[in-house]
Amino acid sequence: MLRLLAPLVAIGLCLGPAEAWTSSRGNAEGTMAAEVKNLGESWIAEFPEKDTLYRPAVDDAHVYTMISHRSGGSTLAALKRDTGKLAWNLVLPSSFTNLVSDGEAVYFATGRSNERQTVQLHKVHAADGVLLWSSDLEFVDVTATLTLGPYIYLAATQFNYLAAFNKTHGGLVWEKQMQLPLGEVLAVGERLLVADDAGVNLLNATDGRPIWRHKLLSHVGSASLATHDNIAVITTNPASAFALDLRTGNEQWTFEGAPGPNSVNFGFATVRFGPPMILGDHAYFASHIASPNGTGPGFLFGLHLYNGSQAWRMDLEQTGEAWAGLSLSGRNGTIYAALPAGLTAIDGKTGNKIWGLPPHGRGVLSFRDPAIAGGIIYWPAGGGHLWAISAHDGKVTGPTIQLDIGETASPAPAPGLSPGLSIAALALLGLWRRKLGGP
């Protein structure tokens, strides 16, 4: 059984609940923007040494992104939405999970390279990066993923472990040792949709009690989820796409229209599906054909949500090893896809191309998912660039900002602390205060 160590002391207070996102993917109301009301400005932020950037999260004031440094270590950076300039950053000594936020706080986890294989779950203040609390966990793998709902949920794939933590102070609320390796976890109101290697589970989000389980006919390597209007769309690998009724777990439809390996001369090829997206009454996902000899062509599908029939299909170039990254704008029914040809805006109803931003100039553009908020697409392009692009026409009219947030950068100090401490040092100080009976 996994064991939670006592949460480290909170150095600040949570400012209160905020609208929770369903996941980094999901329906149009639950994408990577938490109650973003203000229009953004376009700009390009250049990070040093061609560091790798991961999909950002957005709120009214900031864009948050995790950065993996070529020289080792990682950084959580918050950029100002109106200028692209650095607001604050935290130096992280180890690997991390995905980044989630509710607009008032940012949550993430870091792994420790020691004999205990411990992981720390952290909450920092979104406005200034001040550490609010950290919780130590034992024997949780660093590939764990985080999901926001009534609580903050951590799913550890390698250990079949799922746990819920109080967002105010980081204390353990409930934990479950699952029977199979976990896939994606998605919070849907007071329910928690959990994929594993052989099925999809619906749990009560407040206490972890099972509601129903849909068993798959065979084990899968991975499963991804999206939900809307009591329908869950699931894609798995080996390739499968189907929909379940969230109320009962009964299957609604299965999609079988993806071109098979025989359509290309790659030998021993398999079809692989990317994660699904839902916008209104349509569902979307990308696929490609892979084999030991290389990667064949890819496809982008638009399906009717309620019966699974194909609305349209876009044929893609060879997709490489990455999926086409998808993000949605609920404002105008447009899909924004990071394709081999560049960032592309597509009409979600028809599949027609609206505009395209080809790779050019400032580094190779990547397949990493863009995030949409306030009329701006925030895209972690290749070569250490974060682009803030107009969703209307795909243009960048603002300046290019040179950022230096290397290993010498400092996090925002907590009250009573001097600048220059890493998040590990802040956590250790919190533990010291706890031992002394401090706040």
Q: What angle do CA 33, 35, 41 make, to 5 degrees?
A: 65
Please tell me the CATH code under which domain 1-15+54-177+409-439 is placed.
Answer: 2.40.128.630
CATH for 325-407 (2.40.10.480, 3.40.980.20, 3.30.300.30, 3.30.70.3280): 2.40.10.480
Q: Please state, in angstroms and rounded to a whole number, the distance separating the CA atoms of residues 249 and 201.
A: 8
Walk along the chain (439 residues) in steps of 10 and give the mean pLDDT of each run.
33 24 35 57 83 82 85 84 92 73 87 62 92 78 78 85 93 92 89 92 96 85 85 86 95 81 53 85 84 70 95 77 61 79 87 82 56 86 84 89 62 35 44 30
Residue spans per domain, the chain: 1-15+54-177+409-439, 325-407
Token pair listed for 197:
């290697």
Token pair listed for 284:
């979307």
Our measurement of the distance from residue 352's CA atom to the centroid of its chain's CA atoms, rounded to an integer in Å, reads: 27
pLDDT at 251: 96
Cβ-contact 389, 395 below 8 angstroms: yes
Cβ-contact 396, 411 below 8 angstroms: no
pLDDT at 60: 86
**What is the pairing mode between strands 282-291 and 270-273?**
antiparallel
In Å, what is the CA distance from 29 to each residue of 20, 25, 101, 227? 10, 10, 15, 10
Show Cβ contacts of residue 114 under 8 Å, excluding neighbours closer than 6 positions: none
Q: Please state, in angstroms and rounded to a whole number, the distance separating the CA atoms of residues 214 and 231.
A: 13
b/e code 363-396 from CB counts within 10 Å (16+ = b): eebbbbbbbbbbbbbbbbbbbbbbbbbbbeebeb
Show Cβ contacts of residue 256 under 8 Å, excluding neighbours closer than 6 positions: none
Length of the chain: 439
> What φ, ψ does residue 30 adopt, rounded to 5°?
-125, 30
Cβ-contact 237, 273 below 8 angstroms: yes
**HEC letters along the chain:** CCCECCCCCCCCCCCCCCCCCCCCCCCHHHCCECCCCCCCCCEEEECHHHCEECCCEECCCEEEEEEECCCCCEEEEEEECCCCCEEEEEEECCCECCCEECCCEEEEEEECCCCCCCEEEEEEECCCCCEEEEEEECCCCCCCEEEECCCEEEEECCCCEEEEECCCCCCEEEEEECCCCEEEEEEECCEEEEEECCEEEEEECCCCCEEEEEECCCCCCEEEEEEECCEEEEEEECCEEEEEECCCCCEEEEECCCCCHHHCCCCCCEEEECCCEEECCEEEEEEEEEECCEEEEEEEEEEECCCCCEEEEEEEEECCCCCCEEEEECCCCEEEEEECCEEEEEECCCCCEEEEECCCCCCCCCCCCCEEECCEEEEEECCCEEEEEECCCCCCCCCEEECCCCCCCCCCCCCCCCCCCCHHHHHHHHHHHHHCCCC
Q: Please state, in angstroms and rounded to a whole number, the distance separating the CA atoms of residues 268 and 238.
A: 13
pLDDT at 320: 52
Cβ-contact 107, 101 below 8 angstroms: yes
Determine the residue type at 297.
P
Token pair listed for 201:
């589970």
Which residue matches tokens 């034992």? Answer: 138
